[in-house]
Amino acid sequence: MIKEAESRLKAKQINPTAMRLLVLEFLTKQSAAISLNDLEKGMAPSDRITLYRTLKTFEEKGLVHSIEDGSGATKYALCDEDCDAENHHDLHVHFYCNNCRETFCLPNTSIPEMALPEGFKQQEMNLIIKGVCKVCNSIA
């Protein structure tokens, strides 16, 4: 697992420090996007600033993408392999569960193309669907 993580970081031109390897390993084990707070709790007693900088480096290099799901906390999820520092190819729907408050990437559900009025230039796009996830739905 460490060798795979190291290779993945090097492929994105990220220096594979011990902390970066640990954060990447932690992120790969997640089934949903996580906030800095969640990462901090899961990796206690790690330093919050170091974790934040690691996430920002990962985002800048195309290893993770950030999600604004309306919960008030930015969440992070691993990117597709073809993302890079210049272009994130994560134009997919995100799903926020109102019950468990988890945010899920739905990579096989793409965001429909939008026609903007003349003079508007798209820089990024984010589509959040809110409802009840399949786990919570099966419990209810």
Any binding-site annotation on 47?
no
Residue from 5, 32, 30 nearest 19 by CA: 5
Any binding-site annotation on 79?
no
Any binding-site annotation on 38?
no
Any binding-site annotation on 97?
yes
Any binding-site annotation on 89?
no
Any binding-site annotation on 105?
no
Polymer length of the chain: 140
**Residue 115 CA to its chain's centroid (Å):** 26
103-110: strand order across its sheet: 103-110, 92-97, 128-131
Cα gap 104→96, rounded to integer Å? 6
Known binding residues for Fe cation are 88, 90
Known binding residues are 88, 90, 97, 100, 133, 136
Known binding residues for Zn(2+) are 97, 100, 133, 136
